[in-house]
């Protein structure tokens, strides 16, 4: 009987542990593909060396909407021609500016179309409350794309929005985000 | 220790239990549910800066400024342009659908050459070379038809035809032509417009001014402003429509006899009050209308009582600044004599070339050498020409070029028009869409859509003041299309016909300069407006007076009242996909369109609601279903234009029937212009 007991418990424990390890370690590796930005944008060069402010590129428009990532129209002010020795800058000028093609930046926190998120309504929060602190990065973080849903791993989930709203006394009515 | 069945089951059970403590199940379920929101056929929004860019809408007979809302430079919606004098913030149903038409499935996406019963794709170089060779070979046997009365592309195309030695340049029918001819009968010279904003009494004799006629957006704004000022809008016509729904009153009048009513009103007014004997032409005019249009005769022809006619005449005289707008219900088909009847009534009321009255605008400047000017174009009748070609009375052109027009669908004498197109040696369509004419063409050189090209418009018919609008492209062409103006210039150069311009932009700049307008300002959205009206030496009818011909009621046929509802389309555009939901259940049943008559008329014919019926006119036959509507006069059937498409796309093809088939034109002897506004049809069960 003792032999039979170990035949049951031990495999169970092995299955349990293996499943937990695979679930927490292996599953994310399978679920998310890793992508890098089309151009390695160096925030440090722009923020520290050129003393640019976040708003120089990530600005609010006149109607209060948020411009998000800059377009070539922003960048060509300086990068119509190659300025430095960074190979990614040269590639940007050759492949995008000169070809009049916009860079398809990967957006870490992109929300679905059925969610209306207003940046200007959240302007009192630090950008890094929700976004990675890219201002101090020379290489943008890796972008993890969920192979099933197609969204970024960093896309904020609804419960996160609701929790923050609740904590800050903001309404959690449906129409606040779902117009 | 070996793994037996029991151990294996334990292992699996441990794995399953363990998985519940991991995100595998829960995260997968969540992501699968999100995955279902992102199937590839589900459209996604494109985000970016929102802008409002000035543009031109020429989809109806009007040409007016609108604004295109763009997101990240991509057009997404259209709205009125408050700064444009012909929009004043208003927009017509076709303008509202204009952005979506850019992506219509009926867009011609690249040049195409007829290959048997279908088309094959060819390059722009091949298409331009081919057309240039055809033009060279044709010599002076070239002709063109344009549906764009206001734009300089028509000048360029007419220039090409003129340079080739041909005078066969035509515009599609509209009321500009008979209005200009009518003005000439009164000794005037210029484009006819109406200062509707400053009138204090507006009598609409057939003119569906608030639904489809003239500068429809501007008319709507003038009407809206008139409500506070106590200005009366009276509609006279055979049936209720969008205009009667809001006008102060509707006076039922037999279809196509509104000009007769104008003459009757003129007879009453000429008899009354002040001494006009010293006016040029008054004596002969007064004598004529008194003899030809006594009250009882006018009442009998029009169905408007003598008392009502006298009452209307009194209101017109007392109003101070009355304005009479004379038109066919569908905005085309009246002859010059009919429009002159309305014009002479305005003359009698001293409402010509004055504030709040009929305005005479200068003709557009001619900038393209050898191009027929607008006045000449308006005097050349396309219906007469195509009918003559079909009948063998005129030589079929070796090359026929069609721009912004659809003569294979939107003309009276339709079978003859189609036969004439068929007889032409080589037919070229510059249409952006696969319309009925493009489908018949040998070569399609698709024009870039309205928002993909530079375009201009000088004073569309009805404008109360001279105006000129230039619209820059809103977006680069989304398909392999080219602006027709540039293509025609390139072809002309290849055919060794020098039109004096290298690009269409240069043509527009030349026209702007000739007008004294600033091209750069206009491209930014500012319309050029002038207050200069050429002096006129008018007389009450200089042409020999004659009675208006009216098809008499015969007890067997019904008066046909074709109507234009812009949501259904126009002579240029089929039902826009965006507008299909606006076509009501009482306008279509399945794929059948409804025509309207009142219960008494239906009873006389032994017809009931929803019956499938056949309308037969001098031009051909139409199928429809019957809807009973008491807002229609006795012995009248109201039929919508715009249905019955045989080309285009699934949103319009095969829906309803083409009422143009019923229309037969006769040619006015004095002007050579076609008349087709009054038709009689027999109606029977299908």
Whether residue B202 lies inside any domain: the answer is yes
Q: What is the pLDDT of residue A3?
A: 55
Rounded to the nearest 5 degrees, what angle is found at the Cα of B286, between the Cα atoms of B184 and B357? Answer: 50
How is B309-341 classified by DSSP, letter by letter?
HHHHHHHHHHHSSEEEEE--TTS----HHHHHH
Q: What is the pLDDT of residue B549?
A: 84
Residue B105 has pLDDT above 80, yes or no: yes
Q: What percent of chain A has pLDDT over 90?
A: 81
Look at residues B302, B333, B361 and tell me which one is the last residue of a structural domain. Answer: B361
Q: What is the pLDDT of residue A173?
A: 96
CB contact under 8 A, A113 and B34: no
CA distance B231 to B272: 24
Option in A10, A12, A61 nearest B49 (CB): A61
A139 and chain B in contact, CB less than 8 A: no
**B351/chain A closest Cα distance in angstroms:** 47
Whether residue B376 lies inside any domain: the answer is no
- Count of residues in chain A: 179
Sort out which chain A residues have CB atoms less than 8 A from B18's CB and list them: 15-20, 23
Averaged pLDDT of chain B = 95
Look at residues B326, B361, B396 and tell me which one is the last residue of a structural domain. Answer: B361
Residue B623 sits at φ, ψ, to 5 deg, of -105, 150
pLDDT digits (tens, 9 = 90+) for B576-614: 999 999 999 989 999 999 999 999 999 999 999 999 999
pLDDT digits (tens, 9 = 90+) for B187-234: 999 999 999 999 999 999 999 999 999 999 999 999 999 999 999 999
Sort out which chain B residues have CB atoms less than 8 A from A19's CB and list them: 14-19, 22
Look at residues B361, B389, B419 and tell me which one is the last residue of a structural domain. Answer: B361
**B482/chain A closest Cα distance in angstroms:** 20
pLDDT digits (tens, 9 = 90+) for A66-79: 998 999 999 999 99
Whether residue B346 lies inside any domain: the answer is yes
How many domains would you assign to chain B?
3
Residue B632 to residues B103, B257, B329, B685, Cα–Cα distance (Å): 38, 15, 13, 20
How is B242-274 classified by DSSP, letter by letter?
HHHHHSSEEEE--TT-HHHHHHHHHHHHHHSSS
| CATH number of the domain where residue B641 is located | 2.40.40.20
The sign of the torsion formed by the CA atoms of A116, A117, A118, A121 equals positive
| Residue B529, strand partner residues | B467
Cα dihedral B670, B672, B677, B679 in deg (nearest 10) = 90
What mean pLDDT do residues B140-159 have? 98
Option in B15, B24, B38 nearest A15 (CB): B15
| CATH number of the domain where residue B322 is located | 3.40.228.10
Whether residue B318 lies inside any domain: the answer is yes
For residue B368 the two structure tokens come to 């393209």
Sort out which chain A residues have CB atoms less than 8 A from B50's CB and list them: 61, 63, 65
Q: Name the pTM for this structure.
A: 0.90
pLDDT digits (tens, 9 = 90+) for B14-63: 999 999 999 999 999 999 998 888 888 888 888 889 999 999 999 998 99
Q: What percent of chain B has pLDDT over 90?
A: 89
Whether residue B54 lies inside any domain: the answer is no
pLDDT class of B619 with cuts at 50, 70, 90: confident
More confident residue, B476 or B1: B476
pLDDT class of B1 with cuts at 50, 70, 90: low
Whether residue B367 lies inside any domain: the answer is no
Q: What is the pLDDT of residue B525?
A: 87
CA distance A126 to A54: 11
Residue B134 has pLDDT above 90, yes or no: yes
Residue B593 to residues B532, B557, B610, B663, Cα–Cα distance (Å): 46, 20, 10, 17
Interface pTM, i.e. ipTM? 0.86
Residues from B contacting A (CB-CB < 8 Å) are 1, 3-4, 6-8, 10-19, 21-24, 27-28, 31-32, 34-35, 37-38, 44-45, 47-50
A98 and chain B in contact, CB less than 8 A: no
Sort out which chain B residues have CB atoms less than 8 A from A8's CB and list them: 6-7, 10
Instruction: Tell me the residue range of the domain where B186 lies.
Output: 177-361
Whether residue B93 lies inside any domain: the answer is no
What mean pLDDT do residues B502-513 have? 98
Q: What percent of chain B has pLDDT over 70?
A: 100
Do the bridges between strand B249-252 and strand B443-444 make them parallel or antiparallel, or are there none, so unpaired? unpaired
What mean pLDDT do residues B279-308 have? 94
How is B408-421 classified by DSSP, letter by letter?
TTS-SSHHHHHHHH
Residue B414 has pLDDT above 90, yes or no: yes
Option in A7, A14, A28 nearest B14 (CB): A14
Cα dihedral B391, B395, B401, B405 in deg (nearest 10) = -30
pLDDT digits (tens, 9 = 90+) for A52-68: 998 899 999 988 999 98
The sign of the torsion formed by the CA atoms of B126, B129, B133, B138 equals positive
CB contact under 8 A, B18 and A63: no
Whether residue B207 lies inside any domain: the answer is yes
Q: What is the pLDDT of residue B466?
A: 97
Identify the weakest region by mean pLDDT among B32-41, B452-461, B617-626, B640-649.
B32-41
Q: What is the pLDDT of residue B554?
A: 83
DSSP letter at B448 equals P
Identify the weakest region by mean pLDDT among B64-68, B149-153, B675-679.
B675-679
Under-70 pLDDT residues of chain A: 1-4
CA distance B309 to B455: 45
């Amino acid at each position: 009987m003792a032999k039979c007991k170990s035949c049951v418990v031990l495999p169970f424990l092995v299955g349990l542990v293996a499943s937990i390890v695979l679930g927490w370690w292996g599953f994310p590796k399978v679920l998310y593909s890793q992508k890098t930005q089309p151009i390695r944008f160096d925030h440090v060069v722009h923020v520290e060396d050129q003393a640019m402010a976040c708003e120089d590129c990530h600005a609010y428009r006149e109607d209060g909407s948020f411009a998000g990532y800059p377009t070539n129209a922003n960048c060509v002010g300086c990068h119509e021609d190659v300025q430095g020795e960074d190979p990614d800058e040269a590639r940007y000028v050759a492949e995008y500016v000169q070809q009049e093609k916009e860079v398809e930046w990967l957006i870490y926190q992109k929300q679905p179309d059925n969610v209306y998120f207003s940046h200007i309504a959240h302007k009192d929060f630090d950008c890094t409350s929700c976004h990675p602190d890219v201002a101090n990065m020379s290489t943008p973080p890796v972008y993890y794309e969920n192979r099933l849903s197609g969204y970024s791993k960093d896309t904020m989930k609804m419960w996160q929005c609701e929790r923050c709203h609740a904590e800050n006394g903001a309404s959690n009515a449906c129409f606040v985000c779902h117009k | 220790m070996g793994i037996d069945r029991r151990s294996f089951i334990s292992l699996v059970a441990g794995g399953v239990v363990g998985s519940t403590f991991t995100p595998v199940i829960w995260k997968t379920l969540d992501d699968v549910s999100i995955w279902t929101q992102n199937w590839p056929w589900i459209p996604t929004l494109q985000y970016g800066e929102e802008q409002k860019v000035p543009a031109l809408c020429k989809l109806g007979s009007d040409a007016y400024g609108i604004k295109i809302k763009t997101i990240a430079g991509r057009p997404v919606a259209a709205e009125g342009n408050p700064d444009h004098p012909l929009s004043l913030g208003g927009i017509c149903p076709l303008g509202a659908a204009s952005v979506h038409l850019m992506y219509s499935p009926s867009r011609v996406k690249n040049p195409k050459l007829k290959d048997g019963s279908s088309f094959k794709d060819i390059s722009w170089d091949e298409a331009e070379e081919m057309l240039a060779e055809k033009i060279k070979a044709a010599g002076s046997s070239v002709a063109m038809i344009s549906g764009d009365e206001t734009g300089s592309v028509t000048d360029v195309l007419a220039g090409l035809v003129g340079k080739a030695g041909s005078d066969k340049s035509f515009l599609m029918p509209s009321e500009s032509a008979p209005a200009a001819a009518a003005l000439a009968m009164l000794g005037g010279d210029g484009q006819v417009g109406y200062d509707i904003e400053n009138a204090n009494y507006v009598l609409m004799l057939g003119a569906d001014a608030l639904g489809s006629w003239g500068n429809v957006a501007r008319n709507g704004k003038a009407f809206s402003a008139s409500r506070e000022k106590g200005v009366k809008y009276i509609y006279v016509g055979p049936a209720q429509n969008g205009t009667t729904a809001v006008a102060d009153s509707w006076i039922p009048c037999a279809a196509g006899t509104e000009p007769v009513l104008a003459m009757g009103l003129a007879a009453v007014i000429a008899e009354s009050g002040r001494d006009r004997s010293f006016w040029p032409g008054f004596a002969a005019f007064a004598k004529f209308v008194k003899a030809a249009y006594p009250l009882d005769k006018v009442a009998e022809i029009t169905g408007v009582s003598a008392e009502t006619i006298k009452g209307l005449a009194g209101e017109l005289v007392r109003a101070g600044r009355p304005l009479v707008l004379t038109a066919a219900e569908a905005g085309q088909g009246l002859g010059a004599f009919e429009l002159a009847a309305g014009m002479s009534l305005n003359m009698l009321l001293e409402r010509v070339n004055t504030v709040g009255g009929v305005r005479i605008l200068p003709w557009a400047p001619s900038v393209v050498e050898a191009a027929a000017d607008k006045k000449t174009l308006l005097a050349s009748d396309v219906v007469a020409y195509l009918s003559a070609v079909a009948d063998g009375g005129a030589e079929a052109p070796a090359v026929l070029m069609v721009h912004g027009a659809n003569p294979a669908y939107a003309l009276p004498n339709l079978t003859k028009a189609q036969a004439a197109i068929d007889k032409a040696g080589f037919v070229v369509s510059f249409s952006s869409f696969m319309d009925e004419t493009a489908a018949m063409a040998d070569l399609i050189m698709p024009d870039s859509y309205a928002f993909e090209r530079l375009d201009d418009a000088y004073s569309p018919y009805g404008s109360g003041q001279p105006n000129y609008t230039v619209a820059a492209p809103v977006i680069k062409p989304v398909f392999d299309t080219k602006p027709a103006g540039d293509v025609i210039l390139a072809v002309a150069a290849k055919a060794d016909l020098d039109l004096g311009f290298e690009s269409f932009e240069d043509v527009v700049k030349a026209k702007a300069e000739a007008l004294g307008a600033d091209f750069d300002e206009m491209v930014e959205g500012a319309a050029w407006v002038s207050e200069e009206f050429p002096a006129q030496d008018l007389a009450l009818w200089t042409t020999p007076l004659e009675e208006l011909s009216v098809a008499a009621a015969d007890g067997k046929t019904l008066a046909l009242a074709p109507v234009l509802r812009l949501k259904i389309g126009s002579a240029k555009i089929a039902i826009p996909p965006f507008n299909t939901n606006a076509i009501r259940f009482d306008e279509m049943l399945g794929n059948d369109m409804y025509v309207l008559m009142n219960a008494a008329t239906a009873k006389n014919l032994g017809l009931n609601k929803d019956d499938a019926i056949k309308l037969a006119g001098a031009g051909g036959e139409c199928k429809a279903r019957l809807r009973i509507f008491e807002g229609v006069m006795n012995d009248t059937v109201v039929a919508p234009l715009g249905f019955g498409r045989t080309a285009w796309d699934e949103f319009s093809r095969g829906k309803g029937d083409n009422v143009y088939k019923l229309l037969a034109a006769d040619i006015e002897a004095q002007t050579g212009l076609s008349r087709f506004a009054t038709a009689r049809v027999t109606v029977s069960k299908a």
